[in-house]
Structure 1
Amino acid sequence: MYKLPHPRLIHLLDAVSASPLTQDELAQRLNVSTRTIRTDVALLNNVMVNHGAHLLHQRGSGYQLNIYNPSTFEHFLSRVQNTETIPRTSKERIIQIQVLLLTAEQGVKIDELAETWNLSRTVIQNDMVDVRSQLATFGLSIESKPRLGMLIQGPEMAIRSRLTQLIYIEQKETKQALGFISTIFPEKSQQIFAARFREVLTNHTLYINDIGLRWLTLYAAVTLHRLACGKELTEFSKNDVHETTLPIAKALFSALPMLLPANNHEIAALAIHIQARIATNQALLSQGVQHEADALVTHIFDYIYQNYPYDVRDDALLRRDLHNHVCHMIIRVKHHVATINPLAEHIKQHYPLAYSITLSAIADWIRETGYCMTQHEIGYLVIHIGVGLERNYHLGHRTPKALLYCDAGNAATLGLEAIIRRQYPQLDMKTVYSPEQLITADATQADLIITTMPLANREIQSFVVDPFPTQHQLEELGKQVLVDRTHSYLLDKYFSKAQFLYLDDVIEQSHLFEQVCSHLESTELVEEGYRASLQERESLVSTMMGEYIALPHSIELFAKRSMVYTVAAPRGIEWGNGEKAYLIFFLALSKCDYEEAMGLYDLFQVLINKKLGKSLSQCETFKHFKTLAHLELQ
């Protein structure tokens, strides 16, 4: 067994073994700076110098693994990956603590964890906040007993589901699970199970893709472990089980190294997992699931129609696709069948309008059913609704606005207006008949002033044309019309000095929510219910949107006018799952301009992509913040 100088080097080696990655991509994956990446690469190369491999950097493609002695490197790799690693970050500790709790036959003690990992008790207690929060999503809780430690409480199927999901995440991200996961659930056993399962499924003419088979295999491995611990299922509803899957589930259990035959509840549970993993065109669904899916799809469509300016009730393609997806989704969330959406964070960032609408539409359904609806499932649902909205309504395209003034009389004004509209039909143009209106106009009214006389308005850019413009003038006007001013426009319209807070103190997320919501309510900018809805939104899905930036907002629309309350927190605020937010944008959205305000997500995405969370959080005044933001958005 060979121990690397730092556990992070194992993750670095895993990351570059599949394909070349740039410094920025590696830094983002490992949650460190690019400088640390360069240091780690040098350190790893020193370690591997006599072990048959080397990390090379190529301009344009990044770091890639060059193996010049395969047998030597394979031997080195096997020794390194079998080394038990200590969780390095809060995120890793949160995962490992959950695995410990979910696999422990006796209680887990905080003091013992702190001693094993050479950390303070306070650090572990801080991690436990996120541990409890993540387990609560699955309907699980932690009970602390004197002298025994912490014990997991909750449905057996929920325990298996969360454990299966954690193993899948760890094995996918690091190839070898952290710590003792690989000891309890060796990948070699999983590979044997997968081969046996494929043979059984083929004999029953049932197809499950490789990812689905991996999930099924992991569930089987977790089930064997739980049975060995004496945690046999004593009840499981067969209402949603399709009868044809029961003999298949029984055959799969026969392929496992069972000490005793599986009882009927275990067979029914495995049958549900089979139904959840098979291909859509082979769907084996009970009448109850199909009726429940019909009701949910209708509820979503009706909710969108009643609360938003969109009507997709007659979109037959969306209804069919959504129904097929929801049928399988209900089986998963109802019976704790774990899944991972690799694009969950990207969907949250790139489909903001659909995400917000979807979450609002299903919030009541989640509360009523109590189903285990994770951000992974929500993300898949958002994709379907987002595609449907895009197909029916061309969302996210802001029309440029202009004010037109011509001092050559009404006839010339009408002629000039007709020429410009014919040349640029996408321009939202309003004709005014007094130069005073132009001088007093502000940036929220127009992006551009088109005039036949020079103006003194310094806030809005003006463009001077002749009453009968030349072709050159029209071409130059086109350069002004077609430029994307959306981000600057949104910054001017929805941000203000009155809604800006520089917070140079260490504060908890809950206290920040209390402070900001109290301000918004006392100034009557939001209606009653905003605070509770914002807290519920955060409990459903974290509002961290990228590096250092969080976007907390309510599920429903409570604002009297759409606005952004900005918090610059240079010390950072703990936001859950080991992440810190330094720049926080509280969104308060109104029905009257909801669709336009959703363009704010594009603005935030630019700030995230440019990694401006830390730098903008240093701005002590709104003027400084706005100036710096404008510069970066140009």
Structure 2
Amino acid sequence: MRFPTPRLTRLFEMLQNEPLPQDELARRLSVSTRTVRADIAALNALLIRHGAQFVLSRNDGYRLKIDDPDSYRLFSVRQGAVPEIPRTSEERMHCLMVRFLTSAFSLKLEALADEWFVSRATLQNDMAEVRERLGRYQLTLETRPRHGIKLFGRETAIRTCLTDLLWTMSWQAPGSPLAFREALSAGALELLQPILEEIFSRCQIQLTDEGALFLRLYCAVAVRRIGEGYPLSEAISEAVGESVSRAAREIARALQRLTEKPLSAAEESWLQVLIAARQVEERTPGTINADDGEALVNYLLTFVNTRYNYNLLTDRQLRADLLTHVKTMITRVRYQIMIPNPLLENIKQHYPMAWDITLAAVAGWEKYTPYAISENEIGFLALHIGVGLERNYDIGYRRRPSVALVCDAGNAMVRMIEAVLRRKYPQIKLVRALRLRDYERRESIAEDFVISTARIAEKDKPVVTIGPFPTDYQLEQIGRLVLVDRTRPWMLNNYFDAEHFLIVEEEMDRTTLFEKLCGQLQREGFVDAQFLPSVIEREAIVSTMFGDGIALPHALGLLAKKTVVYTVLAPQGIAWGNETARVIFLLAISKNQYEEAMAIYDIFVAFLRDRAVSRLYACRSFEAFQATALACVSRF
């Protein structure tokens, strides 16, 4: 048995996972509540003979009530899988583009309309946007009487358009997983990932995550196109480095093995261009002209990307702002013209992460130039970097709620849901995606709460069930959990512990303290031998005094293997340059946890605002320190 209309099928699927009120059902189906009631009555008339009914609960909405489990189980088996179809205009446009880009024959809109249960007029409306998007790549659609519509254009344009579409669906827009699956051969992406990673690693090609994904998608597209008899014919002459040339040559061989077809020289030359265009090149400081503002900006942004994993290279506004400032700054530095920076202390306290990143970048550049950049000038640069970080990474002064996503629908669906959540709640951090089987095996969940596309049992954290395309009702449920402030208590529990807590009663200098703390962290496997020299070097550049007796020593860059904060209380004080530190937090931050761990600075800002230093160094145990710190941060 199958339901007579697609809408009844969708309604039945929605109510399988969770009870929903009729207003929410009406919004999801784009119908009135009266139509929903009529459809529920129609479903109940069909389900009553199979021992089930949808009943209305005042608080929860419609829910499925099963009176005869055996009869209903047999009915569920007979239902079978419902074919996937695009349901929204955006999904249809994606699917239409994929069909035209991958089809060797003309397509008829009437056949597609019947397949997707929509009218031909609906597809005609979608086609206007499809033609416009394809036109950006010099691809055209021609209509032939009695045959249908066929796409024409260069093979390079077809591959580029298809790759760009898949990349956008994966990272930026809530794309259609149906279109994603139709575009590529089954298993191609998974098969290519280890092959490409090994080649790029061996050839020392550095790529951003976005660049690596784009190249993997292009190769998957190439595998399908070459396999179906559509090779590239136009070779491109472009001067590239030896490492890029070698990587392209090895990838071409891998594609030849996968397609079992010979590859033309044009395939390899096009791969060279794509790799060179997305390679992250680390500029050697010694090659930078000290008077070249463009070179300095490039070096600063590249340093931030390679050392701290924040890619600001594509932020045009940041680049323009930095270049405008740097051009005049070089003149000031060259002739030792000093300008005051009244915001310097505020920048250090409110943009501590941006300050440290910029300070480390400038320190590296100063080794290769005769000029010395003052703290005032670094403060201005740090302000630009800080604004860029907030614009691109939503870095503020509260840790984003961590979320585990349970989804069995594949990577494309995960990326789509992540994009929807990020647009609605930019403060959410999707820590990981779990398959349903992996979730069921876990005894506990470390994240703040769980979002699932299937009905699952709660473990030790709240669960919100959503559909593949979350509705306003489901997003409101997520919002209730997002607004709960767990930031600072989570930080204190996660990164501060009794094993890394020390009370210093005797006299001690900074170097001795660093050697003692770093030695313990190295023995425990948190850092390696490079960490101590880097901490000392960072301290020599500018004092890490944060203010009011608080010091935050740390390394240049993210050198730790695991993130931890070593807390030191020194009631008698430790000489820290021209000041005295009584509360010291040695920060060891790893690249794997850099985004979460950088929010630790917010705790230190709270200590300053609450004037809590005297209360903190008066504590005689870790438990007392933790209670005092928690009481302090809870007030801000």
Give the structure-1-normalised TM-score.
Answer: 0.46
Give the structure-2-normalised TM-score.
Answer: 0.45
